[in-house]
Amino acid sequence: MEYVLTASSLSKRYRDFKALDQLDLHVEKGAIYGFVGKNGAGKTTLIRLICGLQDPTDGEYTLYGMKNTDPGIVKARRRMGAVVETPSIYLNMTAKENLQAQYRILGLPSFEGIDQILQLVNLADTGKKKAKNFSLGMRQRLGIAIALAGSPDFLVLDEPVNGLDPQGIIEIRELILKLNREHQITFLISSHILDELARLATHYGFIDNGRMLKEISAKEMEESCRKCLRVEVSNMEALARVMQQLGAEYKVISQTQADLFGEHNISKLTIALSQEGCIVHRIYEKDETLESYYVNLVGGGRHD
């Protein structure tokens, strides 16, 4: 497995406050990694550390295999672009002028590629319009355009759709997917807007109070959260016998609860269970979302 970013026992302390507490993290190459946590959980602190804006108190992280204590980490960071909190743009400049300014900061020899970047983020037609007259969505796309200067293959976005209207959210989503699929850019996206993140992420990391609660792939998440029938019965052995006779997939949750997958005729199922001396106390459809998964995880709910 090739990782763009890893963290091992990473901690950041501000006097008596632990913003990060022994955090472990693994971002695979090519992933869209959704970094999930409430405000103040430590998401922005991690981003500031990996961008070199702050140093960790303890632990370490690696970027493209380079440890944060290695002098070569500076070179590794050149492969990374970031939009932290709010886009760093010059409001009195046009989109093109903003990119030219970033090219100068990076010391790039020419302005080659600027037009292509503006085309990519759908800002090629803004002409002489100043960034101060852009919508929030346009400013966010300009921030991503600036992060793309220097051709990075890893982008870090901190709350990229926060405050955007529905159209702006769609535009950012489509841009992220395009950059990931067509340009093979890896993403770390910090967000608390879970419904939108669920449309993007290939992997998730759930953080709370500076600690990583769980890392899981979207595929594993889908398996864990897929639709099923939750049944509560008086006799789990009887339920197991009936499900095996039907050749149906099921998962035992407890001594009285199980999840049944696939299509089921409820009447036939209850009759079959009754014939086995099993009473059905309750049956209902269960379809867990990313949000409910996170809430259960933070609240102590168990997910294997």
Amino acid at 17: F
Between 3.40.718.10, 2.60.40.10, 3.30.70.100, 3.40.980.10, what CATH number should domain 227-286 receive?
A: 3.30.70.100
Alpha helices by DSSP H, 233-286: 236-246, 266-275
What is the model's pLDDT at position 222?
79
What is the model's pLDDT at position 304?
41
CATH number of 3-218: 3.40.50.300
Report the greatest alpha carbon distance in the chain.
80
* Residue 177 in tokens: 């997917």
pTM of the model: 0.80
Q: What does the alpha-carbon distance between residue 3 and residue 22 come to, in Å, rounded to a whole number?
A: 19
Could you tell me which residues come within 8 angstroms of residue 220 by beta carbon, excluding any fewer than 6 positions away? none
Give the DSSP letter of residue 133.
G
- Among candidates 47, 118, 132, which has minimal Cα distance to 85? 47
Q: What does the alpha-carbon distance between residue 163 and residue 171 come to, in Å, rounded to a whole number?
A: 13
What is the model's pLDDT at position 300?
52
Rounded to whole angstroms, what are the CA distances from 235 to 42, 52, 132, 269? 45, 58, 67, 14
Any idea where the domains of the chain sit in the sequence?
3-218, 227-286
Q: List the pLDDT tens digit at each of the 304 positions of the chain.
A: 899 999 999 999 998 899 999 999 999 999 999 999 888 899 999 999 999 999 999 999 999 999 999 999 999 999 999 998 778 899 999 999 999 999 999 999 999 999 999 999 999 999 999 999 999 999 999 999 999 999 999 999 999 998 889 999 999 999 999 999 999 999 999 988 888 898 999 999 999 999 999 999 998 887 777 778 899 999 999 999 999 998 888 989 899 999 898 888 889 899 999 999 999 999 988 776 788 788 878 875 444 4
